[in-house]
Structure 1
């Protein structure tokens, strides 16, 4: 039976001396009249807590004399005060057969049976005592409390309320408070305890009850504030201090609070824990409380986003053979996940499976960690478990109307994220569009739909979706973060900076915010672009034999948001029948990147055929919308000039225009037209059509078809370089991109290419084109994107099929 400070404050409380005095003076008048006798002296001693003399005396006395009903009642009451419940029940059962006992004796037996949790027997005796003394307030209170103990809730509450309605005295309010305690209505009990203190502010029992009620309702700081008004043991005081610090941890972990306020609460809690632990270390009795403080402190560290310290403290607890309970292990699991250490997190989850369904997993960070590490089957099982346990609607107790199930919506949203991460973007868009359309007032769904559109390469559509969602809650952190990501794709640099600054100011330690801040930081890095090509075996007239080419370019950090300076070096060489040919080019320029546009102006010095000549390149592109892009390029001494032409002192100026159509990540096409004017008066026109069609995908693999059509015409064929009068190539290639390893921002993949087609050249028979390629690529920490590719192709040149085996390396490095 849960004890309340009010549960034994009546006559029959064996621990409260005030009630004993009242009982003796009011109910034992015969004892007061004979105070000079030995019997009465021992009664007075019993009132002062010295029970043994009277009980021993009466035990011997009853062996020689017959006891009166009043003496039996005295015996019952003093034995009750002494805590001898078994003896009280034994005496009562012996004597109640032979004589009618006074009401106070019956009540003593009723209280003893209540102490023994024999509720029904106790209730019968309370009723008997009340029949003997109907006006006794104490007996009525004892009866009501026993009703509450016996879980006769309705009757106990009704009787207690009637008692208070008759007279709202402190004793009656204490009785109602006890009934509320037994009913588990702690908030109602808190109200009653407050009313008691309004009447008697210095009532120790009321203060103790209020402190206990505040603690049960987790209102711990006010409870600690009452500690000095109540007699407490050191252990009880430490418990209150721990509860108050834990309250700060709970408040700091409340998502609705502003981030700065949450961190301030967390730091306050940490300071309190550190002070308590330091003060308690010299006391061996405080060892369990120190352990509890260290475990509770994990929550404060988590609220303060100090994940590494949580792991160190957890490992320290384990080293000292301390057990971290389930309710605290979630902080450790989440910290491992936050630090991208998913393996120990999974080990702990296996040991504590209840964490998966606890409130500590409301953010589903494990699911996203599984996606980030390429553990797609486990992520799929995670979603399946949620879906299986979350019907579309739920029936709340007491409500006839079915209610939407938030868990169902969460499962559907996570499923969309799974589909997006596993290359099933069409299905992801379809499902998220339906969810967003059916819940236009749910901003989270609108934001998630925009994220799917962005993943599909449609940032302007995502921007429009986010703009519509902005009307629901303009200052939403989730909204601003997603708008910043879209602004980055749209080259809205100023907008991206403003949004990111605001998000960082409001949630600096949030992992999603840190990821956005990191992306912006990388955007402001310098950039190195490197590409190298080496012919391993070649006998074609275009590249020659033992050919080598490389290009390096360094781009500066952004200047005034949209501008970057760049410079670099290009080199190419090859062996031809007439000798070696080479080209060296030093270049520098400026890049312009506003919204919906891109441009580069490059000036260079080109060395070929033993002389240097100035070169100029102007490139530009304009995004009409998410689908269409227009672009063009003008270049003096074009990079597309065949090396063999340069070897023989012939250069070319070139102009090109292109049009790109992009549907989504699964389909796109590009058509271009180019014209070159060679210094030997040759005029070349080139027409190309290329595209991509996604054929198949799995979480780790994509299969694309890349069709291509290329045609060219030259005004001269009597040149030192390959220059067919007319030619046409139609090809199709299958490309496979297979992820070998994925762990957060590190992805290692391999690529396989196989294709073929036909080549037609004027005055020559058509011939087959065969292409094979294999490569690998590594993307690391969003700083390095590097790959190597081995290519082999065989195709006709002037009617003769030639082989070409080459290796290429490219890299893009931020620093």
Structure 2
């Protein structure tokens, strides 16, 4: 520490001319000073050599030998700016050192103008390009100086987030000779940013083979392991980093301690990996104690925001993001998390404006580009299409039998942020007892969406068995992150059985639902509905269910879903299935598995299995249940496909119906 302070003092003295008074106070001749300086260098005492050469240079500023010797030792001590000040014409090594130092400044020193975060780096890039050109054009060409400038240029381009240029230059240099570790690290960062995680993984490992303690390479390796979906390796690498060090450390000879930023970053990294693995509860448990101990830490706040969002708490996520931003308003991560939180919260205009401001300063940043894609997709029109043919046997005359359902819904782009127009078409076909019953519905309406409230209003024209108008109105309110209240009103409800419509009977429906989500893993709900049939029958029905996750591993979730249902009808002997009273209890298992993921693209599969008992007054009880298998492919924020099949067993008036349904659902924004 004392040596470093001496070095800094003499560097400043040499650079500013304050050595002169010391030189005249020292009567030693220049030759003797130079000899003592060279002797100090042979003894590897660069601080003493710096002192002697600085005194010699101060006594005879025109002495080139003294100037060159002083510049050389200043370069060895990492002070290229001071070295340039003592030379009349700095050469390639000194100017290259100045450029490399400017690259480091650009990465470490915050620019005063937040709209120009790369001003220092841009200047370094221009200087390095000039140096490389000069070295190439020299007579003879200075290939060593050219390569050194180009290696530093790779790092500068990486810092500037000009990923493609950085990678192309690194690959050109690599073809000529192996890259130094610091350049290979920049190459790895560019490969990761350009979504080439396998290449980045190999590059990070190569850096660590040469420099096992390189912290930046170890952190980069974690992200490459995450992007290649190797979470076991990512956990191991991140946890090894988190196990090192302590919350506080001593600096220099002082007995006082100060917070260790590297230790905190490692704890955050270990939590982030759990969040990336869709394990937000474990991530929360890691970060919550840290935040309790350091509530004014911006990095802890913005990570808590991301975790809260993953747990299904958008309001808390927004609160944490606002606090983080207030603590570090110029930090790019704080701005990104706030934009993300505003978007999830439904403050679309505010979030979009913030994202555009970020894009002006960081147009190639991967997270900014992803948010821009989400904004663009949100502002598009949307089409939803579903089709499900069904084959059934058994069930008696009141069962729906074979048939199909199909639906098409088209939404306009958002109008004045909160509104969308919609058009819809639906077709339902049942084939009981070799009859064909058909209903077609065509509708148009409007949707409104705000941060806590949404509603939809549709007018319908029903065609087929019974031509009659209808309407649906639904509203949903979320007063906080846990409660959801919903209600709906349907004139000529879609739940009216086709057997009833065949008999000229319509049903209006009135329903309410309340749900409580403790977190993303535990949700309970209760709903009740009344169907008011035009033949005088009234059907009251109620459903209570719970969804709880019992397995949460990277790429795999298993949830239990118990459900209790009961209904009662006021009228007997109708043309449609109409039990006086009935009830059922079932237990479902919901297995969700990630087959493959590559950034925004993913393929998931899901198995739903349930078994229960159904009871109907006058007919006793029997087994009911089913199995459903589906796959979902998401291509980007605009396109998603879901397809699969379902087998089910239901009971109608004591007769069991078994059905097999295939289905496909498609979503596209355009």
TM-score for both structures, normalised by structure 1: 0.73
Say if 1:240 and 1:412 are closer, same or farther in 2 by CA, change over 3 A. closer
Match of residue 428 from structure 1: 283
Match of residue 614 from structure 1: 469
Match of residue 232 from structure 2: 377
Q: In the TM superposition, what whole-angstrom CA distance separates every residue of 1:170-194 from its partner, at most 9, and x where no partner exists?
A: 6677678668767878688778867
**Superposed displacement of residue 747, structure 1:** 2.2
Moved more, 584-593 or 797-806: 584-593
Match of residue 516 from structure 1: 371
Q: In the TM superposition, what whole-angstrom CA distance separates every residue of 1:553-591 from its partner, at most 9, and x where no partner exists?
A: 122222211111222321121212372111222222211
Match of residue 106 from structure 2: 252
Say if 1:315 and 1:465 are closer, same or farther in 2 by CA, change over 3 A. closer
Q: CA RMSD in A?
A: 3.1
SS class of match (2:632): strand
Q: Which has the larger radius of gyration?
A: 1
Match of residue 62 from structure 2: 202
Moved more, 330-339 or 601-610: 601-610
Moved more, 488-497 or 197-206: 197-206
More helix by share: 1
Q: Aligned match of 2:175 in 298, 316, 319? A: 319
Distance 1:162 1:263 in 2: 40
Contact 1:164 1:173 in 2 (8 A): no
Distance 2:452 2:527 in 1: 20
Distance 2:249 2:44 in 1: 27
**Superposed displacement of residue 806, structure 1:** 0.8
More strand by share: 2
**Superposed displacement of residue 716, structure 1:** 2.3
Q: In the TM superposition, what whole-angstrom CA distance separates every residue of 1:473-493 from its partner, at most 9, and x where no partner exists?
A: 344332232222222222122
Match of residue 583 from structure 2: 728
Distance 1:777 1:465 in 2: 32
SS class of match (1:253): helix
**Where does 1:505-654 land on structure 2 (aligned, <5 Å)?**
505-540=360-395, 544-577=400-433, 579-609=435-465, 611=467, 613-654=468-509
Match of residue 655 from structure 2: 800
SS class of match (1:804): strand
**Superposed displacement of residue 260, structure 1:** 5.4
Distance 1:474 1:279 in 2: 41
Moved more, 194-203 or 306-315: 194-203
Say if 1:755 and 1:221 are closer, same or farther in 2 by CA, change over 3 A. same
Q: Aligned match of 1:239 in 76, 79, 93? A: 93
Distance 1:217 1:619 in 2: 72
Confirm or deny that 1:216 pairs with 2:76. Answer: yes
Confirm or deny that 1:294 pairs with 2:150. Answer: yes
Contact 1:608 1:649 in 2 (8 A): no
Say if 1:280 and 1:208 are closer, same or farther in 2 by CA, change over 3 A. closer
Match of residue 150 from structure 1: none
**Where does 1:668-679 land on structure 2 (aligned, <5 Å)?**
668-679=523-534
The higher relative CO (CA closer than 8 Å, separation ≥ 6) is in 2
Distance 1:239 1:669 in 2: 69
**Superposed displacement of residue 334, structure 1:** 0.7
SS class of match (1:694): strand
Match of residue 521 from structure 2: 666
SS class of match (1:296): helix
Distance 2:643 2:211 in 1: 44
Say if 1:339 and 1:470 are closer, same or farther in 2 by CA, change over 3 A. closer
Match of residue 71 from structure 1: none
Distance 1:356 1:253 in 2: 23
Say if 1:513 and 1:793 are closer, same or farther in 2 by CA, change over 3 A. same
SS class of match (2:273): helix
Match of residue 338 from structure 2: 483
**Superposed displacement of residue 740, structure 1:** 1.5
Contact 1:656 1:675 in 2 (8 A): yes
Structure 1 unpaired stretches of 5+: 1-160, 231-236
Distance 1:472 1:650 in 2: 63
Confirm or deny that 1:446 pairs with 2:301. Answer: yes
Distance 1:271 1:475 in 2: 26
Say if 1:181 and 1:501 are closer, same or farther in 2 by CA, change over 3 A. farther
Confirm or deny that 1:167 pairs with 2:27. Answer: yes
**Superposed displacement of residue 285, structure 1:** 4.2
Contact 1:618 1:633 in 2 (8 A): yes
**Superposed displacement of residue 433, structure 1:** 1.0
**Where does 1:736-775 land on structure 2 (aligned, <5 Å)?**
736-775=591-630
Confirm or deny that 1:339 pairs with 2:199. Answer: no
Say if 1:591 and 1:316 are closer, same or farther in 2 by CA, change over 3 A. same
Distance 1:367 1:518 in 2: 26
Distance 1:698 1:402 in 2: 38
Distance 2:507 2:451 in 1: 33
Match of residue 455 from structure 1: 310
**Superposed displacement of residue 415, structure 1:** 1.9
Contact 2:198 2:224 in 1 (8 A): no
Contact 1:590 1:602 in 2 (8 A): yes
**Superposed displacement of residue 289, structure 1:** 2.9
Distance 1:259 1:746 in 2: 33
Distance 2:573 2:494 in 1: 22
Distance 2:645 2:398 in 1: 18
Confirm or deny that 1:813 pairs with 2:665. Answer: no
Q: Number of paired residues?
A: 646
**Superposed displacement of residue 386, structure 1:** 1.1
Contact 1:337 1:366 in 2 (8 A): no
Contact 1:164 1:176 in 2 (8 A): no
Q: In the TM superposition, what whole-angstrom CA distance separates every residue of 1:712-750 from its partner, at most 9, and x where no partner exists?
A: 222223222211121111111111111121222222222
SS class of match (2:499): helix
Confirm or deny that 1:415 pairs with 2:270. Answer: yes
Distance 1:183 1:560 in 2: 75
**Superposed displacement of residue 410, structure 1:** 2.5
Q: In the TM superposition, what whole-angstrom CA distance separates every residue of 1:134-168 from its partner, at most 9, and x where no partner exists?
A: xxxxxxxxxxxxxxxxxxxxxxxxxxx99975538
Distance 2:323 2:119 in 1: 34
Say if 1:412 and 1:779 are closer, same or farther in 2 by CA, change over 3 A. same
Confirm or deny that 1:711 pairs with 2:566. Answer: yes
Contact 1:615 1:635 in 2 (8 A): yes
Say if 1:802 and 1:473 are closer, same or farther in 2 by CA, change over 3 A. same
Distance 2:268 2:598 in 1: 23
Distance 1:485 1:775 in 2: 30
Structure 2 unpaired stretches of 5+: 1-20
Distance 2:121 2:442 in 1: 57
**Superposed displacement of residue 631, structure 1:** 0.9
Distance 2:444 2:472 in 1: 10
Distance 1:260 1:361 in 2: 29
**Superposed displacement of residue 679, structure 1:** 2.5
SS class of match (1:357): coil
Contact 1:163 1:172 in 2 (8 A): no
Q: In the TM superposition, what whole-angstrom CA distance separates every residue of 1:677-725 from its partner, at most 9, and x where no partner exists?
A: 2232322222111220112222221111111111122222322221112
TM-score for both structures, normalised by structure 2: 0.88
Q: In the TM superposition, what whole-angstrom CA distance separates every residue of 1:223-249 from its partner, at most 9, and x where no partner exists?
A: 45765547xxxxxx3333433333333
Confirm or deny that 1:367 pairs with 2:227. Answer: no
